[in-house]
Structure 1
């Protein structure tokens, strides 16, 4: 099976076809209406209508036709580029939601939408593998416990809705099989291949009746069906659509390799066995800096209650004061200002502090851990250094800057919640690869901590 992507010329052809048909919508509708008139005329004498010849005639509107053309154009390009061979199950769902209200179909927008699949298809396939595991068990959300098949971690994943064509569970199986294909030198799996693997008669199936009196299985309403799908993987399916996917030793090794390659060692967020103790205010190793992508910033600001005051047409609330420790070049400060809120940044690195100041932000060049705390901020939004557990010192120090009842939201490695648990608060996982554009795939999340309110 060929996995080659279409040439850019093919995409241009599709866009040209879309442009031509979009310009010809009124002409096509008029031709249709003229043809309907001719048919009606052919069924009567001297225009004397007795009953309609065209029963259930469709009336076509130009706006509806253009909307359908736009959706069809995007879907045609998606299919022609074989994006399904690369995109993860999550990406597929996102594209399907985008089709409800797609952007204009131009070369530049198509390029910006799909170019990253060309740039690194392997990493997209491995991201599908990571996404398949991260939503299944907390063990897979930690950078320290990212591997499966090791002591204390399960050797299977449980998938729901894997029986229907195009289902989310089946997409997850495809993501896992394609990641294994990278390490086994086998061709990628498309949806036709997957259907054949899971079809009755095309794979070894063993069926056993549910034991009587087993209430758990009774609730699952299932005779269980075991299917060997190949590549050292077994799928045990149930009549309710759920499936348990098991891995043999070779598959476990390849999955471990795939997850390790995806997450990498860019950001060592786990302390060594015998960590070297540093002074409490020491600057993080190498001034670790991974800027916050826009989607992460937006999620952090919403969680912190830093609302967009431009959305108020009448009587907006008064701006709040927001502190951003370790503000880097000011990307979070940019978003805070765009929401018409007030912010102060603190940054140790002189070059990045100068970049933030050049944008007009109020920035103090200093080591945040050595800044005397003043409880005068309504909110703190921060992306502290991840190295070791250095972030713990930053978060604890930042809490001292909050007013009573204030809110702190910190971007943290997933190990902060799933392994270390030195900070208490409300945790929310960020999507897999949220920091990919900043240069790391380390699993991350948001921690929200509220300062106690003042007592009367």
Structure 2
């Protein structure tokens, strides 16, 4: 079940408290009925007594899945590790404009699909990956131009030494915004960050999303929409964009 953007915006503004979800603002009847239909399809039951939709589990988590994918599905998805499909890897590398000899960072590297492509473009790449089995898979490639740190990227202290940061971060609960902001600190002046992000960053009205869009505009950044189903082969229907953020040469 596809969910219209205006309904996604209503869900994004909704107040949640455990299993309770309360709609905010004034909705015309059609928009309310469309939103109610989506909530019921997702498992939310209207309670006249509570004046809220009640879910069996955490309402915020249920709504997050809808906002990320733009769909209501019966199977719950966990938005953690989803390998970057080869066509998107190439698009990331092209947008990054990686040149031979550049130093590149790939945070949350998974099994290194982006890192390996960056090496083929002539870069020297540092990876950070939290899951040991994935970090070991990158090491097993025995690629001399790649180093791997097994750690939670958000616990690292980025230094501005990289020409490029290319990444596909986790998305749940707007983690992509948090990871991109942290990774941006690793860019040297004149550098460029290129990241896959949830399409929610283009329309969500949370303080984090609004601030991110403002920051992108100030930096002259760009958002490139990806076609629906771009990550289908990786097991998720999440809607995505590619964000390109330059770091000013005088920074």
TM interval, short-chain normalised: 0.5 to 0.7
Quick check: 1:343 aligned with 2:121? no
Paired position in structure 1 for 2:84:
292
CA-CA distance at 1:348 after TM superposition: 1.1
Q: CA deviation at 1:287?
A: 8.4
Q: Distance in 1 between matches of 2:154 and 2:249?
A: 24
CA distance 1:354–1:398, change in 2 (3 Å): same
Q: Is 1:433 equivalent to 2:229 in the alignment?
A: yes
Distance 1:386 1:144, change over 3 A: farther
Residue in 1 that maps onto 2:200: 415
Q: In the alignment, is residue 304 of structure 1 matched against residue 89 of structure 2?
A: no
Q: 1:353 to 1:144 in 2, by over 3 A?
A: farther
Judged with a 3 Å threshold, the aligned counterparts in structure 2 of structure 1 residues 369 and 287 are, in CA distance, closer, same or farther, namely farther
Q: 2:174 aligns with which of 380, 384, 389?
A: 389
Bigger mean CA deviation after superposition, 298-307 or 357-366: 298-307
Aligned position for 1:83: none
How far is the alpha carbon of 1:324 from its aligned partner? Answer: 0.3
Shift of 1:422: 3.2
Contact 1:269 1:413 (8 Å CA) reproduced: no
Aligned twin of 2:107: 325
Deviation at 1:154, TM superposition (A): 8.4
**Shift in Å, 1:143:** 11
1:322-369 CA-to-partner distances (Å, cap 9, x unmatched) read 110000111111211222222111111111000011112321111211
Gaps of 5+ in 1: 1-125, 156-248, 272-285, 308-317
2:153 to 359, 368, 373: 368
Work out whether residues 433 and 443 of structure 1, in 8 Å CA contact, stay in contact via their aligned partners in 2: yes
Q: Distance in 2 between matches of 1:334 and 1:142?
A: 37
Whose radius of gyration is greater, 1 or 2? 1
Correspondences of 1:277-288 after superposition (within 5 Å): 288=80
Instruction: Compute the displacement of 1:266 (Å).
Output: 11
- Kindly indicate whether residue 50 of structure 2 is the aligned counterpart of residue 268 of structure 1: no
**Residue correspondence of structure 1 range 252-267 to structure 2 within 5 A:** none
- CA distance in structure 1 between the aligned counterparts of 2:193 and 2:169, rounded to whole angstroms: 12
Task: Give the aligned partner of residue 454 of structure 1.
Answer: 250
2:55 corresponds in structure 1 to: none
Mapped contact 1:321–1:378 kept (Cα < 8 A): yes
User: Aligned pair count?
Assistant: 193
Question: Please, which of 224, 239, 251 is the counterpart of residue 443 of structure 1?
Answer: 239
Aligned-partner Cα distance in 2 for 1:447–1:153: 36
Aligned to 1:405: 190
Cα RMSD after superposing both structures: 3.5
The answer to whether the 8 A contact 2:64-2:173 is kept is: no
Over residues 204-236 of structure 1, what are the superposed CA-to-partner deviations in whole Å (9 max), with x where a residue is unaligned? xxxxxxxxxxxxxxxxxxxxxxxxxxxxxxxxx
Q: Name the TM-score, length of structure 2 as normaliser.
A: 0.65
Give the structure with the higher percent strand. Answer: 2
Q: TM-score, normalised by structure 1?
A: 0.37
Extract unaligned runs of 5+ from structure 2.
Answer: 13-25, 43-61, 69-77, 217-221
- Measured at CA, do residues 301 and 392 of structure 1 come closer, stay the same or move farther in structure 2, by a change above 3 Å? same
CA contact (8 A) 1:270 1:388 kept: no
Write the distance in 2 (CA, Å) between the matches of 1:153 and 1:343. Answer: 54
CA offsets per residue over residues 67-90 of structure 1, 9 Å max, x none? xxxxxxxxxxxxxxxxxxxxxxxx
- How far did residue 267 of structure 1 move? 7.0
SS of match in other structure, 2:83: coil
Superposed structure 1 runs of 4+ greater than 6 Å apart: 140-143, 152-155
Q: Larger % of helix: which? A: 1
